[in-house]
Amino acid sequence: MVGVRVEMPSNNPIVLLRERGGDRYLPIWVAGPEASAIAFAQNGVVPPRPLTHDLLKDVIEALGRRLEEVRIVAIKDNVFHAQLVFDGGLVVDSRSSDAIALALRTGSRIMGADEVLEEGGVAVPDEEEDEVEKFREFLDTISADDFDKGSPGTSGGGSGPSES
């Protein structure tokens, strides 16, 4: 898992999953509250009272069960579908965002079906990923004051992928 990002210019949150041993990423658009729940779990933020995903984790543990893995199993009408796979073989359908938030809280692995990676995955070769990371580091070190406001050609703009 790479983490939660914000897709520009729409400001829609995306969970970005990375293929192990490969160069594909799986961008999954999620709602704001689920993006926050995922980011909280990824960053180890513990709220003063349990959020819904924390409560579900506690219920699973209280029942003596274990979430073994989360599977992203399908894309239907641009919506990702997931399954929670519990010990003993029990499988429960889930929204992908809820499944990811729960997996992060329980330490469960997140798996993407080959068909999902084929349909929704985006390949980013390692050398491009290095360039993207260098650019992110550069953006973290600059401020608006670093730009000469009077220079031609410094106006921004552009677009990224958007959800249809």
Q: How confident is the model at residue 158 (pLDDT cuts 50, 70, 90)?
A: very low
Tell me whether residue 145 is in a domain: no
- What is the reported pLDDT for 129? 56
Is 113 part of any domain?
Answer: yes
- pLDDT for 130 equals 60
Look at residue 55 and give its three-state secondary structure: helix
Count up the domains in the chain and report the number.
1
Query: CB atoms < 10 A from the CB of 162, how many?
Result: 11
Query: Residue 124 and residue 140: Cα distance in Å, rounded?
Result: 22
Q: Is 132 within the bounds of a domain?
A: no
Structure tokens at 126: 């390692």
pLDDT confidence of residue 148? 43
Full residue range of the structural domain in which residue 70 is found? 3-123
| Whether the predicted pLDDT of 41 surpasses 80 | yes
Does 96 map to a domain? yes
pLDDT in tens, 85-144: 999 999 999 999 999 999 999 999 999 999 999 999 888 766 555 655 655 565 556 554
Q: Is the pTM of this model over 0.95?
A: no
Q: Considering the domain boundaries, does residue 63 fall inside one? A: yes
Supply the pLDDT for residue 134. 55
Q: Which residue has the higher pLDDT, 119 or 153?
A: 119
Contact 53, 40 (CB under 8 A): no
- Tell me, yes or no, whether 66 lies in a domain: yes
- Give the residue-averaged pLDDT of 23-27: 88
Residues 74 and 80: their CA atoms lie apart, in Å, by 6
The helix/strand/coil state of 94 is strand
User: At residue 73, what is the residue type?
Assistant: V
Query: What's the confidence (pLDDT) of residue 116?
Result: 94
139 backbone dihedrals φ, ψ, rounded to 5°: -60, -30
Domain at 29, CATH number: 3.10.690.10
Residue 106 lies in a domain: yes
Quick check: 157 pLDDT over 60?
no
In a domain, 135, yes or no: no
